[in-house]
Amino acid sequence: MDLKAPLYKRFEKYAKLDTQSDGDSKTFPSTAKQLVLARLLAAELKAIGAKKVKLDKFGYVTAEIPATVKGRVPAIGFLAHMDTSPDASGKNVRPQVHRKWKGGDIVISRRHGVILNTRNCPELAACRGEDIVTASGDTLLGADNKAGLAIIMTAAEYLLKHKEIPHGPLKIGFTPDEEVGQGVKHFDVKSFGASAAYTFDGDVAGAVEQENFNADGLKITITGKSVHPGTAKNALANAARIAADIAASWPENLLPETTEKREGFVMFTDISGGIEKAELSGIVREHDLKKLKAMERQLAAIVAAKRLKYPLARIELAFREQYRNMNAIVSGRPEVMKKLLAAVRAAGLEPHVKPVRGGTDGARLSFMGLPTPNVFTGGYNYHGRYEWVSLDGMNKSAEVLVNLARGWAE
């Protein structure tokens, strides 16, 4: 299977559309621009011959590839998300291909000093000789998760053209707002009609995931007291300074930049405000739910200490559940992972089962009754200017999807 040319053609087209989601929005989807891509995908699905194509009022795109075998064969779903992260600009993305990378520096942007190599990204080393796609250094690339969209669309077209490949009914789902933790908030699992599913939203080739972080959001609101600085002694409560003090008090060994593998962390993502009002927003992540709650108690203790230190201020802390570790559900359906591991091996790769240091739509879908592990898309360094994806890795991912379709029909 060599689908690199159609994979890149689709990926480039999707990547050029700005589909960033917005965590502060009160609408769903959180940004109207995601619907531009949703309408494009729905039109493409109809054009390639998919059935039951639907774009609903929430922005979900769903479709079906009819079975090529008779009898009772489970319906299997394949999902990817349409939005890109708010962490870096997604406007005017300009993908560039570094053909048959031989090693050494990949210059994404000399002007911005954005240079990719195995020193700043060791995961790149396994891709020597492959076609590497990056953006131009001004934006993120959007491979998270437009690579997944391109993989599913290209594999779907391949299956529709090759009806000799045996498979049961295949369900396709494209979702908005995954990056802001709301991706499947209104997703109708029952109507989708799959017995099991796979999100194509992972990283380097061969990596598959049935575990993810337990995740909560956090918000600390500080109401200070403003007085003239000349008469501030025992009278001023500077909310901005208190916010900085709280952030600085969190242990440095429990930050994302100092942890790896199964280690959890707290990350303050936004700090804003002035003397009278300040706010810290952030996230709490840990694979073990008990450890997650222990970190939250640790942060609550820090906040309590600051209330004593700053009695003139009001400091409020709140946590909001975002998603939970899907392993609790996926492990109860061992055939779902068994089929995935077999599909990866059939594509000529040795599967690397690892926990996600993040989350996917599959986490919430699993708890909604649809066990949904995660499959690699061939990229890395998501959410920033150093983001990259291998076209060869995307091709292997598409092959895994076809193998999954065939494997579930056996």
User: Is residue 384 within 8 Å of 116, Cβ to Cβ?
Assistant: no
One-letter amino acid for residue 358 of the chain: G
**Which is nearest to 114 in space by CA: 389, 392, 388, 394?**
388
> 351 CB contacts (<8 Å, ≥6 apart)?
206, 207, 208, 340, 341, 344, 345
**Domain at 4-212+325-409, CATH class:** alpha beta
CATH architecture of 214-322: 2-Layer Sandwich (3.30)
Domain boundaries, the chain: 4-212+325-409, 214-322
pLDDT tens series, the chain, 410 aa: 899 999 999 999 999 999 999 988 999 999 999 999 999 999 999 999 999 999 999 999 999 999 999 999 999 999 999 999 999 999 999 999 999 999 999 999 999 999 999 999 999 999 999 999 999 999 999 999 999 999 999 999 999 999 999 999 999 999 999 998 889 999 999 999 999 999 999 999 999 999 999 999 999 999 999 999 999 999 999 999 999 999 999 999 999 999 998 999 999 999 999 999 999 999 999 999 999 999 999 999 999 999 999 999 999 999 999 889 999 999 999 999 999 999 999 999 999 999 988 878 999 999 999 999 999 999 999 999 999 999 999 999 999 999 999 999 98
**Which is nearest to 303 in space by CA: 369, 241, 246?**
246
pTM (two decimals):
0.88
Task: List active site positions.
Answer: 83, 178
Taking the alpha carbons at both ends of the chain, their separation in whole angstroms is 21
